[in-house]
């Protein structure tokens, strides 16, 4: 599956840095990804829905590390390009590194101060 388009919409919030939309093979779109500034740098949170108990569950997510890394790399690259295009300074944070030991289990709950967390992130 090829990532054919990434659109990023920067926001001016504390940990939430941008929303993103990603298109696969020019025929399938996933909206409401989030660029989050976590404790270990920037990461991309998948779209999620708040449950009755206050936790969040991903509504769409990659099933393996390789796909997660491809999505995160594409979204963060477009985020940097968008900030450069608009003359907005880049946040003074790095990108966290994914590893198999930190990969989020498919469908796992998220929990951070923003209501979102990436693999290995704590709120």
| Per CATH, domain 3-110 is 3.30.1120.40 | yes
Q: What's the confidence (pLDDT) of residue 22?
A: 98
Strands 16-24 and 41-45 come out as unpaired
CA neighbor of 16 nearest in space, from 34, 43, 39, 41: 34
Task: Render pLDDT for 92-112 as a digit per residue (tens, 0 to 9).
Answer: 655 555 544 344 444 444 434
Q: What is the mean pLDDT of each run of 10 residues along the chain (123 residues)?
A: 96 93 98 95 95 95 96 97 86 54 42 43 41
């Amino acid at each position: 599956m090829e990532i054919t388009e990434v659109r990023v919409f920067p926001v001016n919030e504390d940990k939430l840095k941008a929303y993103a939309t990603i298109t696969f093979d020019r025929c399938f779109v996933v909206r409401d990804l989030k660029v989050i500034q976590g404790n270990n740098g920037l990461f991309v949170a998948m779209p999620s829905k708040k449950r009755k108990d206050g936790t969040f569950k991903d509504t769409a997510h990659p099933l393996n590390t390789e796909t997660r890394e491809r999505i995160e790399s594409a979204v963060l690259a477009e985020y940097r390009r968008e900030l450069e295009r608009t003359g907005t300074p880049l946040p003074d944070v790095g990108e966290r590194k994914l590893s198999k030991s930190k990969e989020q289990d498919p469908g796992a709950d998220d929990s951070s101060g923003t209501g979102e967390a990436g693999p290995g992130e704590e709120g």
